[in-house]
Structure 1
Amino acid sequence: MILYHGKIYDNSEQNRIISKLKEDLYHSIQYKKPINRDEVIEACDSLAKKVLDGKFDDIVKPFLKTFSISYERFLTMAMMFSREGLSYKCKIELSDEEKIIADRFVRKIYPLGILLHIAAGNVDGLPAYSVVEGLLSGNINILKLPSGDTGLSIRLLSELIKINPALADYIYVFDIPSVEFETIKSLAKLSDAIVVWGGDEAVCAIKSMADITTKVISWGHKLSFAYAVTEATDEDLKGLAKHICETNQVLCSSCQGIFLDTSSKEEQIIFAKRFFEILKQVNKELGLADYGMRAQNAIRLYTEKLENHLTANTIFMEDGVSVVCSDDNILSLSYMFRNVWVKRLAHEDIIPVLKPYKNHLQTVGILCPDLNKRKSLIEKFALAGLVRITEASEMSRFIPGEAHDGLYPLREYSRIVEIPIY
């Protein structure tokens, strides 16, 4: 489906619509009134209320099931569209919109102009929210939907335009297959910036398509983990287990595994067994993961056991959850869906081991009862390159005004214009 000037068209209309897109975009920039941010916030707030009232349950509930997201967590996500959440976000990210410099000129914030959003399919790359961020910064937004999109994004954005028809000239959505390089390239050429959600390959592919005059803003896939001392409390471990089960480890901020502050394999195995028992219990309390997810991982874990004589890994598994102990300290993706690794990483090795991962690092959840040691660990992780340091139970929290991967999106989508004072 295509969303164009507030109306939905079949994909067969794609070439015709794109052929006149440049004229439409430039006309909006030249003749249309700039977006009123307060009106965008009000429209988003109305949309959030409709979602929370169940008006979109026919498409929301399958979406939640696909990603095994609890309804309670979804309510928190929906608050990202609320008046309070968006107003606070703008206050934090665009707090210095207009300033007089040296009594000679005014510094103003303008939108980049036209943003092309290349959306990812994972939950925290929710395409509709990326477009909302573009609107809040005053931009015209072209959204390329991810493959396998459920239809939720185009439904939400269509409703947003119904609430405020003035937004129709600032939102365009296309369902273009990623293999249509020339089509994507033509949209990229029209854009002032390309906002890419995805892994390294996706970012590299888009950079190869982008014109030298087009800015590329990448929100790449990140890895997050927990860091525990052997004295970590059962309460903290239970909070981490709950986070793992609630997110199913599909978010960039989800815990993939646990680095343990030790050089002892014996301590590592004792800790892993302890956490496994807690994870198993929390898994039962919250309800098992989707059967398809468990079946897929059952094959992987069976293979892991078969290769155990080669890897020397210690594996604890039951009821669709597992904890795998390995001897390496490589930061890696887990099997996900309630399956974690435990690796040894003494605190003095944090920076040399993690620094090479650079921009792939996102969140670390710390489990350390000793306040002074926790402060020392926080400093080490900040220097290593982590951009979110939290309690283990809050690794995937949603708080308005938080930076995204260490940056403020609304600032990334804006530019500074200096104007003389007359």
Structure 2
Amino acid sequence: MRKTSATRTTAPSAQNAFKAQAGYIPGMEANGIHRQTLRFEAHGQCVEVEVLRPTPAQLATLATSIIAAQKQLAALPVMEIVDAIDRSIARMLEADTPERREIERLLPIISGFSPEMTRLGINACLKAFRRPQLLRFLVEDFGDPGLLDDFRPRPKGGWTRACGPALLAHVWAGNVPGLPLWSMVAGLLVKASGIGKMSSDEPLFASWFAHTLAEVDPRLANALAVVWWPGGDTGLEQALCQHADVLKVYGGDSAIAAWQRRLPAGKRLLAHGYKLSVGLVSGTALDTRQSQATARQAALDILRWDQQGCYSPQTLFVERGAQVSPSEFACHLAGELATLEHTFPRRALALEESTSVAHWRQTLELEELRGEAIELLGSTDAPWGIAYMDKPQAPLPTALNRTACVMAVDSLEDAMPLLAGQRAVLQTVGLAASPEELFRLAPLIAEAGATRICALGAMTTPEPGWHHDGRFSLLDLVRMVDIETSAETAAEALASYRN
């Protein structure tokens, strides 16, 4: 059974381009699948990635094969699947393997992020999927992971089992490397086979994991496929929707709506679209000893992946009345971003992104000229931008790419009505506050619509088993099957040993 290579590369050609292949298809000859080349340039280097682009008929055949392989996956104890994932992640964390070296060389060129940010980001992502974390993942949603293996007794009587979908389809965004791991691992844990559509912006990570998993445990080799096609290919999208039981989509609202229209009735769409995240800084974090460290944590949340993740803060509400004022905190934050730029330089922006940043600055400059209490920190050519606002308003979507607003408030409670106005898109709130303030503010933050509260500085590294957008990572994928007490009682009446 031949499998396509995940990330095989060669030395740069005469055109100074590395060559790589992405995608993973078990049980089908690679030569039978069309390859299309995606070209990436950054840091003065180029990568040409050949991705696997099936026809609708090939995708339908692949889906049928993957669904058949799910029966073998379903028969495995969930703890053996956990061990296979853990061993795969351990191999991916090894710094000296050829595959890891190639990934560290290629991902910065493909994503544009700095090599150091990419290396640290890969490690942070992979460490979230080791065995201890996977067990927490399972217990968080199921309590008893044995529900995935067999019927388990219920406290009120009867029995219950959790059954994963025969085919879980993934449509990944490419804004943050490593994003596909969340849905791929979740699918495997509930014993669902999977077909993933790679992003045109980052096609390597999912391929790397699928290839590694197949080598580590051949019993799982046929349970995954990773392919590519450009968005809007009606035939391929219809073929995927026709065969998938559950479709998990990461992307913009328009893309999610398009996938929803293609999904037949009775099938489920689990979507993760646009979200807005903010930071809250209490006066207890703004004394002369703590304020600089608080500013650095906020700066790290802003610069990691250049705010491309939904959990990255775009606005920070900062409390007045402390030793360090909100305006001074904004200056500390600007200084930290300038300092960290030397270690983690911002990636080169596309024309559309540069235009968005310029427009963001121009809009705020006009407001400043009209007498609004706004101060822009950072020169127009700085790879970051901070806007300080003495009068708070609703959290503002920024231009991302290390742009943020700092808003002064008399108390953090004053920010709650402003957060509530963004209820539909509010996700993560990063908090720098005392324990008393944490538990006083948490109910108000929850009431405002947020789905995650974490420490400032930890916004971009969600914990294993987090409730992404307020939903369950694993429970949303399964259907629960109950054996009611009546069935058990009736069966007893028909037993060979009945009275």
Distance apart, 1:125 and its partner CA? 6.3
**1:63 counterpart (96, 100, 107):** 107
Q: Is contact 2:426-2:450 (8 Å) kept?
A: yes
Q: Pick from 426, 429, 440 the counterpart of residue 364 of structure 1.
A: 429
Find the aligned partners of 2:177 and 2:306 in 1 and give their Cα distance.
13
The equivalent position to 1:310 in structure 2, one of 335, 360, 366, is 366
Match in the other structure for 1:325:
388
Q: Distance in 2 between matches of 1:63 and 1:296?
A: 22
> Is 1:272 equivalent to 2:330 in the alignment?
yes
Which position in structure 2 is the counterpart of 1:260? 318
CA distance 1:137–1:301, shift in 2 (3 Å): closer
- Find 2:302's aligned residue among 238, 244, 252: 244
Q: What are the superposed Cα offsets for residues 345-367 of structure 1, whole Å, 9 maximum, x if unpaired? A: 55444343222423422211123
* Deviation larger for 175-184 or 301-310: 301-310
Deviation at 1:190, TM superposition (A): 1.2
Q: Given the superposition, is the C-alpha separation of residues 165 and 320 from structure 1 closer, same or farther in structure 2, using an over 3 Å criterion? A: same
- How far did 1:216 drift? 0.9
Would you say the 8 A contact 1:122–1:251 is kept in 2? yes
Identity %: 21
Larger C-alpha radius of gyration, 1 or 2? 2
Aligned match for 2:59, one of 1, 5, 18: 18
CA drift at 1:371: 4.3
Higher fraction of helix: 1
CA change 1:18–1:378 in 2 (3 A) is same
Cα distance change of structure 1 residues 148 and 237 upon mapping to structure 2, 3 Å threshold: closer
Runs of 4+ in 1 over 6 A off after TM superposition: 294-298
Whole-Å Cα distance in 2 between the matches of residues 245 and 161 of structure 1? 34
The aligned amino acid for 2:404 is: V
Letter in 1 for 2:26: H
Deviations along 1:84-134, one digit per CA (max 9) or x if unpaired, are 222332232222325424775211111132211111112276224422210
Question: What TM-score results when the alignment is normalised by the length of structure 1?
Answer: 0.86
Match of 1:400 among 461, 464, 474: 464
Partner of 1:169 in structure 2? 222
- Which aligned pairs between 1:71-86 and structure 2 lie closer than 5 A? 71-86=119-134
Which region of structure 1 is more displaced relative to structure 2, 133-142 or 3-12? 3-12
Amino acid at match of 1:60: E
Alignment length (residue pairs): 416
Tell me, which stretches of 5 or more residues in structure 1 are unaligned? Answer: none
Aligned-partner SS, 2:55:
helix
SS at match of 1:166: helix
Counterpart AA for 1:366 = L
**Comparing 174-183 with 330-339, which one deviates more in the overlay?**
330-339
Instruction: Supply the AA of the counterpart residue of 2:346.
Output: A
3-state SS in 2 of match to 1:393: coil
Amino acid at match of 1:275: L
Q: Which amino acid aligns with 2:172?
A: A
Q: Secondary structure in 1 aligned to 2:346?
A: coil
Q: Is the 8 A contact 1:124 1:251 kept in 2?
A: no
What are the ranges of 5 or more consecutive residues in structure 2 without an aligned counterpart?
A: 1-21, 35-52, 369-373, 492-499
Residue number in structure 1 paired with 2:419: 354
Question: How much has 1:239 moved relative to structure 2?
Answer: 2.0
Structure 2: how far apart are the matches of 1:304 and 1:350?
Answer: 22
Distance change in 2, residues 1:72/1:172 (3 Å): closer
- Which residue, out of 118, 129, 143, partners 2:171? 118
Give the 3 Å change call, closer, same or farther, for CA 51–302 of structure 1 in structure 2.
same
Letter in 1 for 2:129: F
- Report the alpha carbon displacement of residue 385 of structure 1 after superposing the two structures with TM: 1.4
| Structure 2 counterpart of 1:409, one-letter code | S
Equivalent residue letter for 2:102: D
Q: Where does residue 3 of structure 1 map in the other structure?
A: 24
Give the structure-2-normalised TM-score: 0.74
1:145 paired with 2:198, answer yes
Check whether the contact 1:350–1:381 (CA below 8 A) recurs between aligned residues: no
**Superposed CA RMSD:** 3.1
Cα distance between partner residues in 2 of 1:384 and 1:338: 25
